A and B are shown apart, each in its own frame.
Chain A
Amino acid sequence: MKLIFILFFLFALSVNPAYSYLDPGAGSMLAQLIMGGIAGLMVIFKLYWAKFKSIFVKNNSSSKKE
């Protein structure tokens, strides 16, 4: 229950469902949103990891100077 609401808020931009005579399956729909979400999360994670590493680089160079 909770997960549905989290997803609903995370992906709140409304888009009309595209044309299809086919039943996409609710499970498949949600899984794709998570896959897309994971990709988004990976990008964010990589950015933060780069930032995190850069802190140590600065420290090293500053310690060398001293």
Chain B
Amino acid sequence: MSLLPDPASFRDPGGRIFKKDNHIFRLIFEHGAKDYETVRDTNFPEKMAELDKFIKAQEVNPEILESPSLKPSFVLEHPILPFVSYPYEWSFPMLKKAALLHLELQIKALEENLMFSDASAYNIQFKGPHPIFIDWLSLRPYQQGQIWNGHRQFCEQFLNPLLLRSHLGVCHNSWFRGNLEGIPTDDLNKLLPWYKKISRNVFLHVVLPVKMNSLAQNENSKSLSKLNSNLPKASLNNIFKNLQLWINKLQPLSSSSSTWSNYDSMHCYEQEEVIKKQQFISEFMKSTKPTTVWDLGCNKGEYSEIALKEGAQYVIGFDYDQSSLEKAFDRAEKNNLNFLPLFLDGANPSPDQGWNSQERPGFLRRKNADAVLALAFEHHLAIGRNIPLSDLIDWITGLAPRGVIEFIPKKDPNLQRMLSLREDIFPNYTEINFRSILKTKCRIIRAEIVSQMGRTLYWYETSKQ
């Protein structure tokens, strides 16, 4: 396979990411070579990689690329991450953790007279619950008196989405995904009521930049370029530290229970039925030993945790309910699990986005699961969003060559509640129909009824890989 440039790595002329077979290379060109050497010789990136705050990197011989047309000054090889996710797929605590990592790295870097040239949230990825910084090239030597060039980007991609939730109670995911570059400060300023702008921090980072920007609009470009900055290092450090203190205290506005975070108490299982379900999943995991599991509708991560215990190496969880995602992330952190819970609306998954619609690949393009779990999930789409049963089963079984799908029958109390206020337009939504459709698309290895009301688990396998 040939050396292909990464479609998201093109803005910095100093270097670019390329992929070849299963390897990731960062090519550093002449434009960025001198700064890279200076940064590398401080040993700071290496130290951060040892602390697992930077992704690891190894300098390799450019000849390894077998691409004579490219003449990089340096080539770094990075390990492949288990999964690539984007800030609009993260829950509030994940974005908060990423923001705090960025600030922590800025403060540490400044001690070595280094600065990050940007503050993109896409430069942070997650390994399970742990954020990790991936863009080695972002670091540059610090120049005395320089301002923080990444401040605007930091606000738009980290701070404002967090504030949208903490100050207004609105989740950032849909808005962030729509804009790709975050929440513009101008928009947030328009949304915040006056009494939320009295706070010093909101004033300095939301109101002030907007007011200063409109002042600057009226100036001609000549006088603007003459406006040289002199921000003392101590002041710059204070800006980082104050942001850190502030963001550390931010919490989602209404922490009151959501529809599905109370699911445990609402669910329709007796204790023995829970055990049956857990055993089914355990046996599936023990038998298939999947490398990567996608847990659709992971809720608080209970079954993701079981999957990891019983043989799965890595689980990506997907859910629509923010409160559940937050609790799932909490579980992953507390128990140090290889579990990454992400926001997903099954009926509207992340699309291909960005430049040339290739920069940020969508949900389906990042498919990498050996096994999929769809527990207490299908009815949300089949009944809740009117997705035809056959299309839905196609979609789920297309995500991985094997998995466990749970069918929720109409007499189940949860489904009764869903249908209570609407017309039942689902005459074909029956267990018999579900089973027969599933049979046409794959083999059913095992089926078991796990609840009194008739919830059924199906272990399926498709012949296609």
A residues in contact (CB < 8 Å) with B: 1, 3-4, 7-8, 11-36, 39-40
Contacts and interface: CB of A to CB of B under 8 A. Distances in A.
B210 A27 contact: yes
Nearest to A22: B118
B228 interface: yes
A46 to B, nearest CB: 14
Interface string B130-164: 00000000001011111111111101000000000
Please indicate which of the listed interface residues B13, B115, B226, B235 has the most CB atoms of chain A within 10 Å of its own CB.
B235
B424 interface: no
Closest 4 CB pairs of A and B: A27-B213, A36-B235, A26-B216, A25-B152
Given A31-B204, A31-B209, A36 B232 contact: yes
Contacts of A27: 152, 185, 208-216
A20 B149 contact: yes
Nearest to A29: B147
Interface residues of B, number: 50
B22 to A, nearest CB: 29
B287 interface: no
B212 A19 contact: no
Contacts of B150: 20, 22, 24
Nearest to A23: B152
Given A34-B208, A36-B231, A24 B149 contact: yes
Contacts of B227: 4, 7-8, 29
Contact of B238 (A15, A28, A31, A39): A39
A32 to B, nearest CB: 5
B229 interface: yes
B143 A15 contact: yes
Given A15-B228, A34-B204, A35-B238, 6 more contacts: A13-B145, A17-B229, A27-B210, A27-B216, A31-B209, A32-B239
A31 B205 contact: yes
B12 A21 contact: yes
A14 B228 CA distance: 5
8 contacts: A1-B218, A4-B216, A15-B146, A19-B140, A20-B118, A27-B211, A30-B213, A35-B235
B235 A18 contact: no
B278 interface: no
Nearest to B147: A32
B238 to A, nearest CB: 6
Contacts of A3: 215
Contacts of B229: 11, 15, 17, 29, 32-33
Nearest to A30: B212
Contacts of B238: 35, 39
Contacts of B216: 4, 26-27, 30
Nearest to A13: B230
Interface in B198-243: 204-205, 208-216, 218-219, 223-224, 226-232, 234-236, 238-239
B465 to A, nearest CB: 41
Contact of A20 (B117, B204, B205): B117
B11 interface: yes
Contacts of B146: 15, 17-18
A26 B144 CA distance: 19
Contacts of A36: 231-232, 235-236, 239
B204 A35 contact: yes
B370 interface: no
Contacts of B228: 11-17
Contact of A21 (B118, B214, B219): B118
B50 to A, nearest CB: 26
A33 B146 CA distance: 10
Contacts of A4: 215-216, 219, 223, 227
Contacts of B77: none
Interface in B413-451: none
Given A18-B149, A20-B149, A26 B224 contact: yes
B35 interface: yes
A42 to B, nearest CB: 10
Nearest to A21: B12
Nearest to A32: B147
A40 B235 CA distance: 8
Contacts of B212: 26-31, 34
Contacts of B215: 1, 3-4, 27, 30
B147 A33 contact: yes
A10 B230 CA distance: 10
A36 B231 CA distance: 6
A24 B151 contact: yes
Nearest to B221: A26
Contacts of B223: 4, 8
A18 B140 CA distance: 9
Nearest to A14: B228
Contacts of B115: 18
Contacts of A31: 151, 204-205, 208-209, 212
